[in-house]
Structure 1
Amino acid sequence: MAEAGRRDEALPVTEEAVEIQRRQVGSNLALHERDLATYLSNLGALMSMAGRLDEALPVTEEAVEIWRRLAVGNPAAYEPDLATSLSILGPILAWAGRLDEGSTTIGEAVEIWRRLAAANLATHEPNLAKALTLRAILLASSGDLSGALQDTEEAEAICRNHIVTTPSVIAPLHAALAVQAELLDNLGRQREAQDVRRWLAANPVQRGHDE
């Protein structure tokens, strides 16, 4: 309830920030376009969590369009932002009934994070794990349970590789394993699913690591 309340408070603030940035962009595109894209991404995420998908979709698509344009000129600076916005857009497309587009969008985010992680594992690989889990959910929705399971297994391996040095990856690890357990059940591998759920119960996410 508290989280929902904070989200309700954040929505009008972020909407106002978007309008301010739109005016600023009108006077100086180069200076303010990145800030506009950031607020649009945040607004799209908040709207989707609030169930306002019809509004979230064009907002997030606009953010992706801006980040994509900026990334052409400076990939190192803007590709992480592009991948983040793609990870927001993919599920929104799926929830809007455009499942194939959603899967493709998340797939693009996965490939960006994978490329970035090749150059900097510590910074970018946890984001790759999150994107893989999102793609697994969409693949499962389209009936590709084996492909979805492979994504959760890769996400799990990434998180376990980082958990000693970056304890906060326990949250994306939990997310990946929760999806993995459901997939194992659906594939008839109930004993393995039970093992995964026992591990989750024995290793809860600690307060402060649930972001």
Structure 2
Amino acid sequence: EAGRHGEALTAEQEAVEIRRRLAQDNPAAYEPNLAASLSNLGIQLAEAGRHGEALTAEQEAVEIRRRLAQDNPAAYEPDLSISLSNLSIRLAEAGRHGEALTTAKEAGEIWRRLAQNNPAAYEPDLAASLAVIAMLLAARSDLYEALHATGEAVKLYRRHATAPPVLPRLHAVLGLQADVLERLGFQEEAETVRRWLRENPLPPDSHA
């Protein structure tokens, strides 16, 4: 966050090394932490432009979290879904768009199931997952499916608009929705969405 990305990457690599060593001796205690560090490392590597290594790190995080979720779904399915969403983005960066979409949809299915049982806790996560799916669909020019996904995401975000992280995410998905509407030729509808964004700007201290 201080802009010292190289040092951040070095620190995260060291964290992975330590946690990997701990997890070798005591997997039950330390594999969840190792998966968390691998997922963070994937993000840092992607920001450094090292996309192949980022993909490998996120794949390992998914493998660990999938195994943990099989034994204890209640504890680890949310983490698995987060890593699946991250992996879908890494796959898209690698040009593997079909796999990216499949992976993103798997994450969405988990969030949808969790949200059915606990809407207050998990509907914003489902909305975020739908936004990723919509982005991937739009990149493939599956525009009507992308529009449907953005519509559902917007509905969910508006239901939880008072939660601090939700408003900037709502703005982001509305921006995507406007772009999709424009690509479909619905210029008036796209302008309506953009007008709402102009009339409802984010507070200066908002963070996505």
TM-score (normalised: structure 2): 0.95
Q: Given residue 120 of structure 2, which amino acid in structure 1 is its aligned partner?
A: A
2:20 matched residue in structure 1: 22
Q: Distance in 1 between matches of 2:29 and 2:103?
A: 28
How far residue 4 of structure 1 moved from its aligned partner, in angstroms, is 7.2
Where 1:5 maps in the other structure, the secondary structure is: coil
Where 1:51 maps in the other structure, the secondary structure is: coil
1:92 matched residue in structure 2: 90
Per-residue CA shift, 1:96-120, capped at 9, x if unaligned? 0100000000000000000001111
2:201 matched residue in structure 1: 204
1:43 matched residue in structure 2: 41
Q: Provide closer, same or farther for how the CA distance between residues 207 and 69 of structure 1 changes in structure 2, counting only shifts above 3 A.
A: farther
Q: Given residue 174 of structure 2, which amino acid in structure 1 is its aligned partner?
A: L
Q: Distance in 1 between matches of 2:89 and 2:95?
A: 10
Q: Provide closer, same or farther for how the CA distance between residues 144 and 44 of structure 1 changes in structure 2, counting only shifts above 3 A.
A: same
Q: Provide closer, same or farther for how the CA distance between residues 6 and 180 of structure 1 changes in structure 2, counting only shifts above 3 A.
A: farther
Name structure 2 gaps, 5 residues minimum.
Answer: none
How far residue 176 of structure 1 moved from its aligned partner, in angstroms, is 0.9
Q: Distance in 1 between matches of 2:6 and 2:137?
A: 31
* Correspondence 1:50-61 to 2 at 5 A: 50-61=48-59
Q: Provide closer, same or farther for how the CA distance between residues 35 and 201 of structure 1 changes in structure 2, counting only shifts above 3 A.
A: same
Structure 1 residues 65-74 or 116-125, which shifts more?
Answer: 116-125
Name structure 1 gaps, 5 residues minimum.
Answer: none
Deviating above 3 A after TM superposition, structure 1's stretches of 4 or more consecutive aligned residues are: 6-9
CA RMSD across the alignment: 1.3
TM-score (normalised: structure 1): 0.94
